[in-house]
């Protein structure tokens, strides 16, 4: 049986990716894209690679893969207080790819790009004998000197997180092929909510301006709250005291923890949340919380920065708590 013909590289780009491109993409007809930051602005750059079987299941919806690929980069820009300006995509397609798969992938990518105002400006498409692999580099802008770094936390600052924590890690269990017993105890709506939080992370770019104006340090939570807090504290040469009972959980996450209380540790360390972890001074944090509420987002205080570098105390109703492993690690 003859295999259906597939478009060549240039036809593929014109058909599926040129419609996502912004003016800086130059119609995707050139060797490079173009960014023009405004006078007095600096460019913030971030990159993430996603590999089938590592960052997503090979049979995941291509629409969700496209959405997530860009969303995880935009989450990094949001944590830096940066306005998205554009992105480049490198896509390594394995043997056996189909136009239907590519159309759906481009559709998810386009929806995220449109929602964030972050157009495609270039990239590369190749074939591979290995798994599907893609990498996105995203560009944002901030007023000169205003990027929110990890290294700005000071003793006495309030530690805050956006949204709810643990949904992504629990959603991975709900969505994956080897479902733990507790998944069956959840209602259909709770299962769908958690799976969607894993498949379609929501970058908190609405917080970017408020972070820029009020936060002393920030980063996004991709590898787990506990591990990512450790990274922020290392960069800031600081410690922290954290109230585990203050960490915000969604209704579906609470339902999962009711069924299996030991899941609390997974929620705090598992990753895939793409929420914002930030710090702000006692004077600035009320304005930061109010600005978040104005954007229909929740920022919850969960602790304080302390002076003893690298020392983190976690306390809850059960007393002090320690973690054997703070976050997901590739290595």
Judge whether 273 is annotated as a binding position.
no
Helices (H), the chain: 9-12, 62-79, 99-116, 167-175, 188-199, 208-214, 225-236, 251-259, 263-269, 285-294
> Cα–Cα–Cα angle for 240, 244, 249, nearest 5°?
125
Q: Is the pLDDT of residue 309 over 50?
A: yes
Average pLDDT on 296-319 reads 93
Mean pLDDT of 270-284: 96
- Measured CA to CA, the distance from residue 305 to residue 222 in angstroms comes to 21
Average pLDDT over residues 262-273: 94
For the chain, the structural domain boundaries read: 9-143, 150-321
Q: What are phi and psi of 308, to 5 degrees?
A: -80, 105
What is the reported pLDDT for 6?
A: 65
What pLDDT is stored for residue 136 in this prediction? 96
Is 60 within any annotated ligand binding site?
Answer: no
- As separate numbers, helices (DSSP H) first and strands (DSSP E) second, the chain gives 10, 11
220 is in an annotated binding site: yes
Say how far apart CA 83 and CA 74 lie, in whole Å. 9
User: What's the pLDDT band for 160 if we cut at 50, 70, 90?
Assistant: very high
Tell me: pLDDT of 330 over 70: no
The predicted-structure confidence for 99-110, as pLDDT tens digits, reads as follows 899 999 999 999
123 is in an annotated binding site: yes
The domain defined by 9-143 carries CATH number 3.30.1330.10? yes
Under the banding of pLDDT at 50, 70 and 90, the label for residue 132 is very high
Q: Is the confidence at residue 24, as pLDDT, over 90?
A: no
Cβ(228)–Cβ(296) under 8 Å? Answer: no
Could you give the angle at which helices 62-79 and 188-199 cross, rounded to 10 degrees?
A: 70
* Residue 163 among known ligand-binding residues: no
In this prediction the pTM is 0.91
Please report where in the chains the tokens 């590898």 appear, as a residue: 223
pLDDT for 33:
81
The reply, when asked if residue 55 is annotated as ligand binding, is: yes
Residue 200 is assigned to a ligand binding site? no
CATH fold match for the domains 9-143 and 150-321: no
Averaged pLDDT for residues 184-200: 97
31 appears as a binding residue in the annotation? yes
Strands 41-51 and 133-143: antiparallel
pLDDT (tens digit per residue) in 212-226: 999 999 999 999 999
**Mean of per-residue pLDDT scores for the chain:** 91
Helix (H) or strand (E) holding 90: strand 83-94
Q: What is the CA radius of gyration of the chain?
A: 21
Q: Is 46 annotated as a binding residue?
A: yes
Domain boundaries 150-321, corresponding CATH code: 3.90.650.10
Average pLDDT over residues 235-255: 98
Locus of tokens 């920065």:
305
Six-digit token pair at 308?
Answer: 């003893």
Cα 92 to Cα 87: distance, rounded to the nearest angstrom: 17
> 3-state class of 66 per DSSP?
helix
Q: What is the DSSP letter of 53?
A: T
Which residues have C-beta within 8 Å of that of residue 319, sequence separation ≥ 6? none
CA 28 from chain centre, in angstroms, equals: 27
pLDDT of residue 1: 42
Burial 200-231 (b: 16+ CB within 10 A, else e): bbbbbbbbbebbbebbbbbbbbbbbbbbbbbe
233: Cβ–Cβ under 8 A, 6 or more apart, which residues? 153, 239, 240, 305, 309, 310, 312
209 is in an annotated binding site: no
Residue 68 buriedness (CB in 10 A; 0-12 / 13-18 / 19+): buried
Residue 3 pLDDT > 80:
no
pLDDT digits (tens, 9 = 90+) for 45-101: 999 999 998 889 989 999 999 999 999 999 999 999 999 999 999 999 998 888 899
* DSSP annotation of 134: E
Confidence of residue 327 (pLDDT cuts 50, 70, 90): low
Phi, psi dihedrals of residue 184, rounded to the nearest 5°: -70, -20
């Amino acid at each position: 049986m003859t295999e259906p013909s597939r478009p060549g590289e240039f036809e593929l780009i014109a058909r599926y990716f040129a419609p996502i491109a912004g003016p800086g993409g130059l119609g995707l007809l050139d060797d490079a894209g173009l960014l023009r930051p405004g006078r007095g602005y600096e460019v913030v750059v971030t990159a993430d690679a996603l590999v089938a079987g590592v960052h997503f299941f090979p049979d995941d919806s291509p629409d969700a893969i496209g959405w997530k690929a860009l969303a995880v980069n935009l989450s990094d820009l949001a944590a830096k207080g940066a306005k998205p300006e554009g992105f480049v995509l490198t896509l390594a397609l394995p043997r056996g790819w189909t136009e239907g798969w590519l159309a759906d992938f481009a559709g998810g990518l386009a929806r995220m790009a449109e929602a964030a105002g972050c157009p495609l400006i270039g990239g590369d498409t190749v074939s591979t004998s290995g798994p599907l692999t893609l990498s996105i580099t995203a560009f944002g802008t901030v007023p000169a000197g205003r990027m929110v770094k990890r290294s700005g936390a000071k003793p006495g600052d309030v530690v805050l997180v956006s949204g709810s924590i643990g949904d992504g890690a629990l959603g991975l269990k709900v969505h994956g092929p080897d479902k733990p017993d507790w998944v069956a105890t959840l209602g259909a709506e709770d299962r769908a909510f958690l799976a969607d939080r894993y498949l379609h992370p929501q970058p908190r770019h609405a917080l970017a301006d408020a972070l820029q104006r009020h936060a002393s340090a920030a980063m996004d939570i991709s590898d787990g709250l506990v591990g990512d807090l450790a990274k922020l504290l290392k960069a800031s040469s600081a410690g922290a005291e954290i109230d585990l009972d203050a960490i915000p959980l969604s209704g579906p996450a609470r339902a999962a923890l009711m069924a299996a209380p030991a899941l609390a540790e997974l929620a705090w360390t598992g990753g895939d949340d793409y929420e914002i972890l930030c710090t702000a001074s006692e004077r600035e944090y009320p304005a930061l919380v109010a600005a978040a509420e104005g954007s229909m987002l929740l920022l919850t205080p969960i602790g304080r920065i302390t002076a003893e570098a690298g020392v983190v105390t976690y306390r809850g109703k059960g007393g002090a708590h320690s973690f054997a492993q703070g976050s997901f690690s590739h290595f």
